[in-house]
Amino acid sequence: MAHSIDDLFSDAVRQLFTAQCTPQVVRDVEAGQSAQPLWQMIEASGFADALVDEGQGGAGLSLSAVYPVLELCGAFALPVPLAETMVARALLAKAGVAVPQGSIAMAHARSTEAGGVAGGNVHGGQVADWVLVSVGADHATLAADVSLLLPVAQANKSNAGFCLDARLEWPQSVASQAQRFPCQHNVKELQACIYAAQLAGAMQAVFTRTLQYANDRNQFGRPIGKFQAIQHQLSVMAEHAFAARMAAQMGCRSSTFMPERLCVAVAKARTSEAAVEVAALAHSIHGAIGFTQEFDLQLYTRRLHLWRQAGGSESYWHSVLGEALVDGHQAPTLDLIRHVTDIA
């Protein structure tokens, strides 16, 4: 069977993650070990520049083409921000800003009274090398709606809710020297698109592991997967996981590296909604063992709950869709639904 360039690209990423991003590696990074060895292998592969134009040293792929890679980031619980880095590097290259080596997280930020920048809860802030922040016009030292590329090493760092996240604040001396460019993107939309794809990948991994467990775990002389109640739970999990995957693909439907807002809204709303159900059903089937630190399931379900909120939860994006249908969209409702759900 012939393989497309996109298939070969995603197959290469899968091989790298299979060899280098094992559950033990994820645990080690979460426990505080350096993520640099893993990132350096990813950096050397060139995958982080997939969305950068060919004329600027990248692969020039579209968001649709790299969707399988974004999904794999979730399927392997990748503990470094590869997906964010891919998008951030494309944004920097398009703006004519020098693209640095290292991983890049993305975040909203506010300027402080002292002239610095506070990034709040930065997803991946504990392991990223840089943060691409979008700052509004709330301090005289910063222009209206600018993006700044700030080094994590020069930030004051404190712990956030998730072990790989951090609250970061940069002093005025660092913020004033940062590379900056006009902010022409919506961080929340980009994050929602990325995390919808990662949620889809994580849910596929959770379903696959849960199905295997149900077939392997014996009770009353037969696998628990033979019991009708378990089969019903598995079927509901499969429905949510595969619907979420279709929605995430819709969210990445783009011939450029930038997604379309309403497609992102559908993707993030559906994947966030599904994440709660899939996590609950997986733990129900696994029983108490699924919550233990030694069991791999919790590596994924913790991320399902985290990524459900990251970039806006289902309630936020349902509101965006509702506003488009009621107030902001002139086309008939059926035409809008056809538009946002067409993945051809």
Percentage of residues in the chain with pLDDT exceeding 90?
75
- Mind listing the domains of the chain with CATH numbers? 5-94 (1.10.540.10), 104-182 (2.40.110), 187-340 (1.20.140.10)
**DSSP per position, 148-210:** EEEEGGGSEEEE-SSTT-EEEEE-HHHHTTSEEEE--S-HHHHHHHHHHHHHHHHHHHHHHHH
Query: pLDDT tens for residues 249-301?
Result: 999 999 999 999 999 999 999 999 999 999 999 999 998 788 888 899 999 99
Residue type, 261: R
- Say if residues 40 and 80 touch (Cβ distance below 8 Å): no
Tell me what pLDDT residue 3 has.
Answer: 44
Tell me what pLDDT residue 335 has.
Answer: 65
Residue ranges in the chain whose pLDDT is less than 50: 1-4, 138-141, 143-144
Q: Where are the alpha helices (DSSP H) in 4-129?
A: 5-20, 23-30, 36-45, 63-75, 82-94
Tell me what pLDDT residue 340 has.
Answer: 67
Query: pLDDT tens for residues 206-240?
Result: 999 999 999 998 888 899 888 999 999 999 999 99
For residue 4, what are the contacts with CB-CB under 8 A and spacing of at least 6?
none
Tell me what pLDDT residue 135 has.
Answer: 87
* The pair of three-digit structure tokens given for residue 162, joined into one six-digit string: 């998730």
